[in-house]
Amino acid sequence: MRTIRLTAILGAFLLAACGGLTGGGAGGTGPTGPAGAIEHPTGSDELVVRWEYAGGFVPIQYELSRIPSWSLYGDGRVIVEGPQIEIYPGPALPNLLVFRLSEDGVQAILRAAREAGLMEGDAHYPMPCVADAPTTVFTVTAEGRTSVVRADALDLGPTSCPGVDEEARAKLAAFQRKLGDLASWLPEGSIGTEEPYQPTEVRVYVLPYQRQPDAPQEPVIWPLPTPLSRFGEPFTGLEDARCGVVTGAELEALRPLFERANQLTPWESDGERFGLILRPLLPDEHGC
């Protein structure tokens, strides 16, 4: 009887220990997550952390083409803006890069986000002394909720503007700098190889073509059967503009043309010329 009782106690102890190691309790990252880790989405199209800009004194055409600066997904992929060629006109598609982080790297970033105050719910840190600078927007999804934190004119650094929460803004600016220099602080071996990001969807804004006499361009024939005059749906943000999304076989037919085109390329369709604004969509983005 004593032997049977001892065996049962040992079995229960081992079962409890194994349950703790699998992270099945509160604070795990799922069935196989380590105990004490910060829970976060794990899907390849589920956003975990993002840093982007919004607003500012810019033309609407620029706003439509703007890409989030830094995006981390549940599978560890990070998609960032790569170096851009400083020529005019610029390429029609931006240079996007992707690399993968290990779970240790993801956890380090989430801990840094928590220290920066980015996991406490939505917040806004205004800068009333500056009216035309963009707003830096951080989005973090972890521990069962999404927090969106906005800081106006964050890139300007400390100011003497009254009523501004400089301590909170300094934490956000420090976190932003860390996202731009991962190799200096993430665990060794947690950052994968960087390579070009190939979007599976591209948003296309169709506008009336505006000829540039000082920068003449060779036209490109629109290859899809649907003419640009009827592509997508009317877009209310610009006069006489339309918006649609290409994916699958249509995108593969257009990709080499998109890669050769620039921002001023005229696109010919049914005897008319149009200008296109191309916006690659990230894994969590869809539609217009």
pLDDT in tens, 10-49: 333 333 333 333 333 333 344 335 668 999 999 999 999 9
Return the residue matching tokens 């009336």.
208
Token pair for 247: 């994916």
- Of the CA atoms within 13 Å of residue 15, those in its CB half-sphere come to 6
Over range 240-269, report the average pLDDT. Answer: 97
With H, G, I as helix, E, B as strand and everything else as coil, classify residue 270: coil
- For the four alpha carbons of 52, 57, 60 and 61, in that order, the dihedral sign comes to negative
Single-letter amino acid code for the residue at 137: V
pLDDT, tens only, 184-215: 999 999 999 999 999 999 999 999 999 888 88
Q: Is there a contact between 175 and 113 (Cβ–Cβ < 8 Å)?
A: yes
The reported pTM is 0.86
The answer on pLDDT for 232 being more than 70 is: yes
Q: Which two tokens stand for residue 273?
A: 């010329």
Q: Is cis: bond before 126, omega within 30 of 0?
A: no
Query: H or E segment at 272?
Result: strand 272-280
What pLDDT digit, counting tens, does each position of 45-103 carry?
999 999 999 998 889 999 999 999 999 999 999 999 999 888 889 999 999 999 999 99
- Which tokens belong to 4? 């049977």
Q: Where are the domains of the chain?
A: 47-184, 199-280
Q: What region does 74 belong to: left with phi over 0, alpha with psi -120 to 50, or beta?
A: alpha
- The per-residue pLDDT for range 103-145, each reduced to its tens digit, is 999 999 999 999 999 999 999 999 999 888 999 999 999 999 9
pLDDT of the residue at 85: 85
Q: What is the pLDDT of residues 135-177, one digit of tens each?
A: 999 999 999 999 999 999 999 888 888 989 999 999 999 999 9
Q: Is 239 or 229 the better-scoring residue by pLDDT?
A: 229
Residue 195 makes CB contacts below 8 A (sequence gap 6+) with 97, 98, 99
Q: Are 286 and 245 contacting, i.e. CB atoms less than 8 angstroms apart?
A: yes
Angle at 80 between CA 131 and CA 179, to 5 degrees: 75
Query: Per CATH, is 47-184 categorized as 3.30.1560.10?
Result: yes
Predicted pLDDT at 133: 92
